[in-house]
Amino acid sequence: MSLSTTLSEETAAVSLRSKDKQGIINELLDLLVAAGAVTDKPAALKAVLDRERKMSTGMKYGIAIPHGKTDSVSALVACVGVSAEPVPFDSLDGEPSRIFIMTLSPPEKTGPHLQFLAEVSQLFKSEAKRAAAVAAGTPAELLSVITR
């Protein structure tokens, strides 16, 4: 499962506007619903928020990886968004997040989900790559940064 095959311009956004965790999660889900990747937004939202209650998916370096397992998808789906302003996300390092990568997968399929999360966690170890993602002006530019 790779980022380049999972993400598309339709599932990428460079101008998330929400100022809180739930708003960001809603915006990301809207991308997946609009792309036809999620059939039941309320169920998907519940899955992601339930996961957040267990432990925040705010990582380090301004990155958050909200995710969940839901029957609202038939296979692993993902989207990516960047916020112009930092958003509090209860991150491991206490810093707000600006880069958000959401993934949803069916409850019975754990392999692709874990592989995808591992790939994402390695993705932004480079400060230059994080800066380039935040500076991207279009979904195509954002995908270019993420998938190279």
pLDDT in tens, 91-102: 989 999 999 999
Which backbone phi and psi does 67 adopt, to 5 degrees?
Answer: -155, 165
Q: What is the pLDDT of residue 74?
A: 92
Question: Phi first, then psi: what are they for 122, rounded to 5°?
Answer: -85, -20
Closest by alpha carbon to 116, among 61, 44, 68, 74?
68
Q: What is the pLDDT of residue 8?
A: 94
Q: Which domain holds residue 67?
A: 3-147
Q: What is the pLDDT of residue 1?
A: 54
- Residues 34 and 50: their CA atoms lie apart, in Å, by 23
The domain tally of the chain equals 1
Amino acid letter, 120: V
Q: Which residues of the chain have pLDDT under 50?
A: none
Candidate list 25, 52, 66, 67, residue with the active-site label: 67
The pLDDT score that the predictor gives to residue 115 is 76
The reply to whether 67 belongs to the active site is yes
Bridge partner list, 79: 102
d(CA 63, CA 94): 11
Q: Assign residue 9 the CATH number of its domain.
A: 3.40.930.10
10-41 pLDDT, tens digit per residue, is 999 999 999 999 999 999 999 999 999 999 99
The residue with tokens 């506007």 is 17
